[in-house]
Amino acid sequence: MKTQRIEAYTLMEVAIAMLLAAVCISICYTAYGIVGDYFQAFQKRNAAAEEVLTLRRTMEKDILKGRYLVRSTDGIDILGDSLGISYHFAEKAVLRKVKDLRTDSFHLSTVQTHFLFEGREAVELDTVDHVNFMLQVEKQPAIPLALTKLYSAHDLLH
């Protein structure tokens, strides 16, 4: 009597296949974690850059709408006929207060703020035509921002 032989894998071959599958899965899981960490850091940098751009755009619009920029104790006031906006440069944030409405906050640290009028440093309650400051975003290099207000002779004489 002849015994019939069944085609099958040995126990050793199955164990080696499982070991190789486990190594492949651990490599994929580690790579997924690394890519996830890079993506989170990328999103964080983009969010900070977006906040810087939003602050710059908002300040530019407010300065254009305003008639005067006046130096306050910790920032600037933008004054106009029916406009009252103030920017306060705190240690951990820039606060934008619209008269009788709301306060917006930009979570950016400001360093080296300079408020100038015709090239000289503006004192409190003085008119400002140039705002210069650096924004510190976490551990990245500081980002310089410079904003200018152009006055007409009519504005300065009244």
pLDDT at 103: 87
Tokens of 69: 């920029």
Across the chain, mean pLDDT equals 88
DSSP 141: P
Q: How far is residue 101's CA from residue 39's CA, in Å, rounded to a whole number?
A: 37
Closest by CA to 52, choosing from 139, 143, 140, is: 143
157: pLDDT strictly greater than 80: no
Q: Kindly report, residue by residue over 55-93, the tens digit of the pLDDT.
A: 999 999 999 888 889 999 889 999 887 888 999 998 888
Q: Kindly report, residue by residue over 19-67, the tens digit of the pLDDT.
A: 999 999 999 999 999 999 999 999 988 988 899 999 999 999 999 888 8
User: Domain boundaries in the chain?
Assistant: 53-157
